[in-house]
Structure formats: C-alpha cells, structure tokens
Amino acid sequence: MLYIHVPFCQQACSYCDFYFVTSLKYKTEYIQAIQNEILLRKNEIPENLPTVYFGGGTPSKLSLADIEKILSTVYTHFKISNNVEITLEANPEDLTYEYVKGLINIGVNRLSIGIQSFDDRELQFMNRAHNAQKAEYSVKLSQDIGIENISIDLIYGSPLLTEFLWEKHLEKAISLNVPHISAYNLTVEPHTALYNRVQKGIIANVDEEKSAVYFNILSETLVQSGFEHYEISNFALPQKYSKHNTGYWKYLPYLGLGPSAHSFNTHTRSWNTRNLNTYLTYLLKNELSIEEKENLSLQQQANEYLMLGLRTQWGVDLSTVKNKTGIDFFYAKSIEIEQFVSRNLLSVQKNNLYLTHNGKLLADYITQKLIV
C-alpha cells in the first residue's frame, strides 16, 4: 500500500491536528520532492501495490497535472495491481465537472469527500470552506460523472449538534447512495483552534455522554440501511470497504511519502519530518527526510495486532498473534477477557476476540487493559 501526504489546505479547520500548510507557495517543489522520494524508496515495496491513497491536508488542492505527474512516477517505479484502488481525499468546494472528469481520466477511481456536516452553522463552527448545498452537490456531481466508489466523512459531537440534526445528517448521507461512510467523534486536540477555545472557556468541551448517544444512533441507523459497521468509525455496503484503510487494520505493510507520512513493514516503523520546508530541503537534494525509525519488539507487534484487529468486525485472531509473536493473550489476560465478556463488552468465538457494540464505545479503555 502507498500513502502520499499532501499538506496543502485552503484554511485551517478548527479541529484538525494533521500536518498542513495554508499556502501553495512551494507546491511545485513539493511535486518534485514526492517524485524524488518515490525514486529513492521504490524498492521498499517489492510486491504489487493494491492501493494508492492521497491524504492530507487537502489533496484536491493539487491540479490534475500535479496528480498525473505523481501517478505517472508511481506507475513507472512500482508494480501496480490490476484492480488497484486509487483514492483522493477531496473537499466539496474543489470538485468541479472538469476536475472530477480529469481525475477519472488519470486513474483516480475512489473519492473520500470531507463533508463533515450538512448544516451550515456546524460547518462554520468547524471553519470549513464549503456549505451544505455544495456538500450535497459535490457527491451527486461525482456520481453523475462516473465515480461510484465514494466515501463521505461526517463528524459528530459539536456543541451545535442535536439528536434530531444528527438523524437528519444520516438521512441525507443515506439518500446520497454512497457505498461508504466514515463518522468520527469530534476530538479536542492540542494546538488547534478548537482546543484554544475550550481552554479559554469560550465553548464547552465535547460531551462524551452525548457522543455515545450519537454513536448509537449512527450505528443503528446505518446498519438498518444495509451498511456493515466494519470498523469503529467506518461503515460500508457489503464488499465496499476501503481497501487501503482495511490494510492498516489488518496489519499490512505500507509506505508513506510526503511530510509527516509514516511507513510500516510489520516490524519497523518510520516517519518523515513534520515540516514541509525541511522535507523539501532533503528531498530536493535526493536525500530522505526520515525523522525517526522504530524497531518494534514482538510484544509491541502483538499489542498492535490486538489494538488494530479489535477495531474491526473481523476481530483479532489470537492464535495468529501467538504464532507470529509468541504472545498468548488468552493466557496473559484471561481474567480481563473473562470480565469483559461477562459485561458484554467482548465476544470470544474460537480463537477470535471481538468488541461487542457496547465494547466499541469503550474500545480505547478495553485495549489499554488487554495489552501486555
């Protein structure tokens, strides 16, 4: 799997702590740097690439020519699967007829559209650049032009959200006939505008009890509409899972390019510098900008298998974990597992461990109690 981090954004969303810059000043240099990094790291993925994912930031701030240059370099230096999934994260305001048509022509076959809300007041609160009308229009436009594989992002937990409004958001999302919906609880991350407003008492922190109610509404509504709740924050119609993100949760190796991007080969993790200028300084001299590399112990690998697998509908096969790492969670954490099962937070089927619906609400807590 290949991930390409595009750091450019039109403006700073109030909640976002991903690495981004709000100027396109160095976009040309960035494209060259990505091409150089592809060349330098082409041997890190010897097998066919099943997915290419442009994340951000806002990848749709790149021109069609920019994306084509990157994809052309990818195709030149990597082996590509015949049914490769090529995803571009996009904001609604960027999706014009010409742009979407061009994306199809250069090989992009999946869009992840950052809608977040169908309510203008919420969108303003989040400092999004689009309005609700444009959000809906961007999805329908992309479908009409020929991209059927679309995921939309929603956020719940803002102080402006009510149960009635959340139900309306979900009704609208379902009516758009998209095969994939990602829904995330609003989190207050340090160094964001939202965090500063909470710290100053301008707005209240996220109400976790209300968020739990929204989560239950979310899951019940989408499952009743035919979606599979295949990962804590992700819902898909049958067989319409995100191939790329599913690869993360199934502990598959991936290569990350661009500033702040992480790479993983199942036993070693590395990440690039979280600074565009530093990244460009290195890559334009044909030098890698890897900031740090971490060798994962067998214990760390086992804990990550557990943490990632528990998030999904496939659960975690603890016999596989034992065979790969030597860690036996059934033995090491038998008391905790039994307690969570008795509280209907975990389910055990043969060698697999699953979170129940109630368990998904406490996923981080349960994982913390089970890691060794």
Parallel, antiparallel or unpaired: strands 234-236 and 228-231: antiparallel
Q: Are residues 10 and 158 in the same domain?
A: yes
Instruction: Write out the two tokens for 358.
Output: 């109630």
Residue 17 has a pLDDT of 81
Quick one: DSSP state of residue 298? H
Q: Are residues 173 and 309 in the same domain?
A: no
Q: Are residues 245 and 306 in the same domain?
A: no
Boundary of a domain, candidates 225, 249, 273? 249
Spatial distance between the Cα atoms of 74 and 4, rounded to a whole number of angstroms: 11
Question: Per the domain annotation, does 82 fall within a domain?
Answer: yes
Q: Are residues 307 and 177 in the same domain?
A: no
Residue 189 has a pLDDT of 87
Q: Are residues 325 and 182 in the same domain?
A: no
Residues 6+ apart with CB under 8 A from 277: 26
pLDDT, one tens digit per residue, over 298-336 is 999 999 999 999 999 999 999 999 999 999 999 999 999
DSSP bridge pairs for 228: 236
Residue 206 has a pLDDT of 84
DSSP 52-67: EEEEES-GGGS-HHHH
The half-sphere exposure of 90 on its side-chain side, counting CA atoms within 13 A, is 30
For the chain, what is the mean pLDDT?
A: 95
Whether 317 contacts 351, CB under 8 Å: yes
Parallel, antiparallel or unpaired: strands 316-317 and 352-355: antiparallel
Residue 188 has a pLDDT of 83
pLDDT, one tens digit per residue, over 24-62 is 999 999 999 999 999 999 999 988 999 999 999 999 999
Maximum alpha-carbon separation in the chain: 59
Residue 284 has a pLDDT of 96
Residue 249 has a pLDDT of 95
Q: Are residues 78 and 190 in the same domain?
A: yes
Question: Per the domain annotation, does 279 fall within a domain?
Answer: no
Question: Per the domain annotation, does 293 fall within a domain?
Answer: no
Examine the pLDDT at 192 and tell me if it is beyond 90: no
96 burial (CB, 10 Å; 0-12 / 13-18 / 19+) is exposed
Question: What type of residue is 89?
Answer: E
Cis amide leading into 57 (omega within 30) = yes
CATH of the domain at 356: 1.10.10.920
Residue 18 has a pLDDT of 87
Residue 197 has a pLDDT of 87
Residue 15 has a pLDDT of 86
Whether 92 contacts 114, CB under 8 Å: yes
pLDDT, one tens digit per residue, over 262-285 is 999 989 999 999 999 999 999 999
User: Which parts of the chain fold into alpha helices (H)?
Assistant: 27-40, 64-77, 97-105, 120-125, 132-145, 163-175, 193-199, 208-224, 243-249, 276-283, 298-310, 318-325, 329-332, 334-342, 357-360, 363-370
Question: Per the domain annotation, does 267 fall within a domain?
Answer: no
Q: Are residues 308 and 199 in the same domain?
A: no
Q: Are residues 224 and 331 in the same domain?
A: no
pLDDT, one tens digit per residue, over 79-116 is 999 999 999 999 999 999 999 999 999 999 999 999 99
Spatial distance between the Cα atoms of 263 and 258, rounded to a whole number of angstroms: 11
Mean local confidence (pLDDT), 63-67: 98
pLDDT band at 203 (very low <50, low <70, confident <90, very high): confident
Please tell me the total count of domains within the chain.
2
Q: How far is CA 74 from the centre of its chain?
A: 21
Q: Are residues 243 and 314 in the same domain?
A: no
Boundary of a domain, candidates 189, 219, 249? 249
Question: Per the domain annotation, does 179 fall within a domain?
Answer: yes
Spatial distance between the Cα atoms of 366 and 372, rounded to a whole number of angstroms: 12
Spatial distance between the Cα atoms of 342 and 69, rounded to a whole number of angstroms: 55
Question: Per the domain annotation, does 356 fall within a domain?
Answer: yes
Q: Are residues 121 and 21 in the same domain?
A: yes
Question: Per the domain annotation, does 207 fall within a domain?
Answer: yes
Q: Are residues 76 and 205 in the same domain?
A: yes
Question: Per the domain annotation, does 304 fall within a domain?
Answer: yes
Residue 238 has a pLDDT of 96
Task: Domain of residue 25: give its range.
Answer: 2-249
Parallel, antiparallel or unpaired: strands 2-6 and 49-56: parallel
Examine the pLDDT at 12 and tell me if it is beyond 90: no
Percent of the chain with pLDDT over 90: 89
Q: Are residues 245 and 302 in the same domain?
A: no
Examine the pLDDT at 16 and tell me if it is beyond 90: no
Describe the strand order of the beta sheet including 268-272 as a list of residue ranges.
262-264, 268-272, 290-295
